Every structure is written in structure tokens, then in C-alpha cells.
Amino acid sequence: MKSIEDKQREIIEDFSLFDDWMQKYEYIIDLGKSLPLIEEEYKTDEYLIKGCQSRVWLRAEIKDDRVYFKADSDAVITRGIIALLIRVLSGQKAVDIGGSDLYFIDRIGLKEHLSPTRSNGLTSMVKQMKYYGIGLQNKETV
């Protein structure tokens, strides 16, 4: 299992292959298209991330001491952003998720290329995933 560090380095490397932000946006959208979607039963207010302009549902569960995330969004770019976060954090130990420093976001320039409302949504997604990591340290599902 690759660490959070390893996965962040991979993403930074992936993004370095693109010449401009239009290509990077296309890549993010493609990532969103390949995201394993959350089951319809979890597309409820309980799983909705507060603070996002788009609707984003996120569910986390523990399997074999690791946290696995599933998500969906009604916006293609947001679905791609949550797919990036899932790529880094899903399958990690809860304690590692709760204390993670997701520096790849700044290194690839993602936040500075999002509108202020999307940037706030990104922050809300990161916070929610970290909260799940902290909350799941002694539980099986959230």
C-alpha cells in the first residue's frame, strides 16, 4: 500500500506532464469520470459536504484498519477534485488521514486555479475527509 506521501508525489508528477491549465482541467474531469460512485442510498443530506458550491456526497468506512472513501458530485470538475483527494487518502490508516498535510494541492497550483467558491469547496472536502479520519479511529463506519 502506497503512503499518502507517495500518492502525493505521483499526482505532482502527473500534473507536471501538462503544459497548461486547460489540459490539467481536462485531466481532473477525466479523473472524476473514473471515480467509483457512491451508492444512491448515501446521496442524502447526512453525507453532503457543507460549504461546497456544488453538491458533494462523501462516505467513509473502515476495512482492515484502513479508511475507504466513496463520493459523487453533481459537477464534473468537483467530481474530479474529490477523485484526487480519494486517490491520496482512501486506503490509508485513519490516524494518517487525520494528520495529513495535503501539500500536493499547492504544488500543482490547484487552489490558485479555482474560483473562490470552488476553492472554499476544496477546503471543505479536505476538512470533511480529515474529520472522518479522526472520527473513524475507533469506529467502523461514518
Question: Tens-digit pLDDT profile for the chain (142 aa)?
Answer: 899 999 999 999 999 999 999 999 999 999 999 998 899 999 999 999 998 889 999 999 999 889 999 999 999 999 999 999 999 999 999 999 999 999 999 999 999 999 888 899 999 999 999 999 988 886 655 5
Domain ranges of the chain: 4-138
65 to each of 36, 68, 99, how far by Cα in Å?
Answer: 21, 10, 16
- 52 labelled catalytic: yes
4-138 fold: Sufe protein. Chain: A (3.90.1010)
d(CA 30, CA 80): 7
- This prediction has a pTM of 0.94
Q: Which of 52, 58, 62, 136 is catalytic?
A: 52
